[in-house]
Structure 1
């Protein structure tokens, strides 16, 4: 007899309000990927993504599975409580579970710690035979060979943004604010090129995104992959580090294989900030030369910018806007520095007694400041962050940047307008006020 399983990609209302107006939100690949490991002779699968779907609380499921990141942890605990009261069993995995397993297991029946290629199938088999353990932990470094293709057929209400795929796992670097070293086995790995190509070929849309944390992490590997990818005539985007883009052959292959834009974590225009958070691989003096080279190959740059480092001051926002405009940055993903649990940054701020909140709902990097900045107040940091977002996505800035970039004009215009529409200040102010009230 089949058991019923509900796979949920959670998204709390605060972040959902933030993201829904944006036009380039690709599917989170975790749950469609994990669904591919499930034996349908044993389980009837339902997959729900809260980005654009409602959770079916009116239905009964044998098992409810949630992938938990830090900002959604409290929301996931609330979801779990509702289903537990209905008699469902709850299993949780994902970054927050791996970082804080003792906390998480108080809200569910089973947890899966770390990478899940080996433990998830074992758990599913154990649960089906009514012999599950409370914890499953990754003890070996999982191979990325012959992995199943994600169940994109289970994804609802998407077309252009359901094409996500990964070719590598991990990152060679150790930035102090990043939790990759805590949630993945500490070894950069790649999937066989032929497996990745088969996965991409199965995507019906012409457009897809590589979900890798550092797609250019192994240059020789990615060059081989892009040579094969060129034959598929698709359009794609990926996240990379700027210093790898010095390789002109790499950029040429990216262009030929259909790359439309690269997400690049510039993070800051301050050398002091970059050195302090262990991101010295970024050389501010070389930003212009490398970004110009990327544009020369017809590839757009979506820059990651973080505000709130210890060398940031009130004039940092205006200086950053000027720098981005002068570089012709096509778009930015702007964040407030957020000390994710177990990261070196979190430990530092905790030791310095600068943390303001332990409410994980506020640890999203977008709507709240959860620590005491060094050279400004938290209100000044938040207002400066909001000012930058408004000004960067003003028509004046959009026009100036597009004139300099001259890259993917129509695509960039649509994406910029999507970000412009997503700015909703009132909800963000309320979130910060809530933190202030609780802290005081």
Structure 2
């Protein structure tokens, strides 16, 4: 007899409202990927993505599976509690469950810790046989060979943004605000190129993104993959590190294979700030030369910018805007520094008694400040961050930046307008600081 399983990609209301009108929100790939492991002779599968769907609390399922990231943890605990009160069983996995298993286990029946390629199928088999254990933990780094394709057929309402695929796992660097080393085994791995290409062929849309943490983590692998990719007539984007883009052969192959833009974690225009979080792979003096080289090869740049480093003062917002305009940065994903659990920066701020709250809602990097900055108040950090977002996506800045970039102008103009219209008068949400004071 079949059992029913509900797979949930969670998104709390606060973040959903923040992201809703942006036009380039691609699907989070975890749950469609995990659906590929499920034996449909034993399970009926329903996939819900809270970005554009509501969770069917009124229905009954044998098993609820939720991938838990830190900013959604409190929301996931509430969702799980509602289902468990109805007698449904809940299994957690994902980054936060891996980082904080002793906490997460209090809100679910089963937990998957770490990479799931081996443990997830074993859990599903055990659950079907009514002999599932409380905890499953990955004991070694998974080889990314022969893994299933994501079940994109289960994705609803994502006409243009359901094409996500991954070719590699991990990152060779050690930035102190990043939790990749704590989530994955400390090794950079690649999928067989022929399997990646077949996965991409199965995407029925022209556009897709590589969901890799660092697509250029292995340059020779990336070059071989892009040579094969150039035959498919697809358009794509990926996250890369700026210093790897000094290789012009790499850029030419990327453009020829259909690359539209790179997401590049610039983070800051201050060498001191970069050094403070162990991101010395970024060299501010090289930014202009490398960015010009990327633009010369017809590829746009979506820059990751972070505010709130200990070296940031109140003039950082204006200086960053001026630098972005001058360099012709096509778009930004701007965040407030977020001390994710188990990272070096989390340990530092906790030791210094600078964490404001232990409610994980505060750790989303977009609508709240989770710590006490060094050179400004939390309110000033939030206000400066919001000012930068509004000014960066003002018509004046859009026109100035795109006139410098001259790259994919129509596409970039549409994306910039999407961000512009998504910006609201977001209120500073740190309203219960004393309640969670640590």
Q: Check whether TM > 0.5.
A: yes
Deviations 1:19-55 (A, max 9, x none): 1010000000000000000000000000000000011
| CA RMSD in angstroms, aligned pairs only | 0.9
Residue aligned with 2:383, SS: helix
CA contact (8 A) 1:91 1:108 kept: yes
In 1, the alpha carbon distance for the partners of 2:356 and 2:384 equals: 19
Deviations 1:150-207 (A, max 9, x none): 0000000111100000000000001000000000011000000000000000000000
Residue aligned with 2:354, SS: coil
Counterpart residue number, 1:67: 67
In 2, the alpha carbon distance for the partners of 1:161 and 1:351 equals: 41
Residue aligned with 1:220, SS: helix
Residue aligned with 2:346, SS: helix
CA contact (8 A) 1:215 1:239 kept: yes
1:432 to 427, 430, 433: 430
In 1, the alpha carbon distance for the partners of 2:332 and 2:432 equals: 27
In 1, the alpha carbon distance for the partners of 2:290 and 2:435 equals: 45
Deviations 1:303-359 (A, max 9, x none): 000000010000110000000000000000000000000000000000111110000
Instruction: Please give the residue correspondences for 1:212-291 in structure 2 after superposition, counting only pairs within 5 Å.
Output: 212-291=212-291
Counterpart residue number, 1:316: 316
Counterpart residue number, 1:150: 150
Counterpart residue number, 1:300: 300
Q: Segments of 4+ in structure 1 off by > 2 A?
A: 432-440
In 1, the alpha carbon distance for the partners of 2:334 and 2:435 equals: 25
Counterpart residue number, 1:192: 192
Deviation at 1:437, TM superposition (A): 6.7
In 2, the alpha carbon distance for the partners of 1:255 and 1:357 equals: 44
In 1, the alpha carbon distance for the partners of 2:376 and 2:150 equals: 45
1:350 aligns with 2:363: no
In 1, the alpha carbon distance for the partners of 2:373 and 2:229 equals: 44
Deviations 1:276-329 (A, max 9, x none): 100000000000000000000110000000000010000110000000000000
Counterpart residue number, 1:376: 376
Residue aligned with 2:46, SS: strand
Deviation at 1:439, TM superposition (A): 4.2
Counterpart residue number, 1:124: 124
Deviation at 1:433, TM superposition (A): 2.9
TM-score when scaled to structure 1? Answer: 0.99
CA contact (8 A) 1:370 1:435 kept: no
In 1, the alpha carbon distance for the partners of 2:171 and 2:184 equals: 9
Q: Structure 1: any 5+ residue segments left out of the alignment? A: none
Counterpart residue number, 1:136: 136
Counterpart residue number, 2:162: 162
Deviation at 1:438, TM superposition (A): 5.2
CA contact (8 A) 1:242 1:265 kept: yes
CA contact (8 A) 2:358 2:436 kept: no
Counterpart residue number, 1:6: 6
In 1, the alpha carbon distance for the partners of 2:222 and 2:146 equals: 18
CA contact (8 A) 1:263 1:301 kept: yes
In 2, the alpha carbon distance for the partners of 1:361 and 1:25 equals: 20
In 2, the alpha carbon distance for the partners of 1:146 and 1:160 equals: 27
CA contact (8 A) 2:243 2:282 kept: yes
Counterpart residue number, 2:339: 339
Deviation at 1:127, TM superposition (A): 0.2
Deviation at 1:434, TM superposition (A): 3.7
Residue aligned with 2:47, SS: strand
TM-score when scaled to structure 2? Answer: 0.99
In 2, the alpha carbon distance for the partners of 1:106 and 1:57 equals: 20
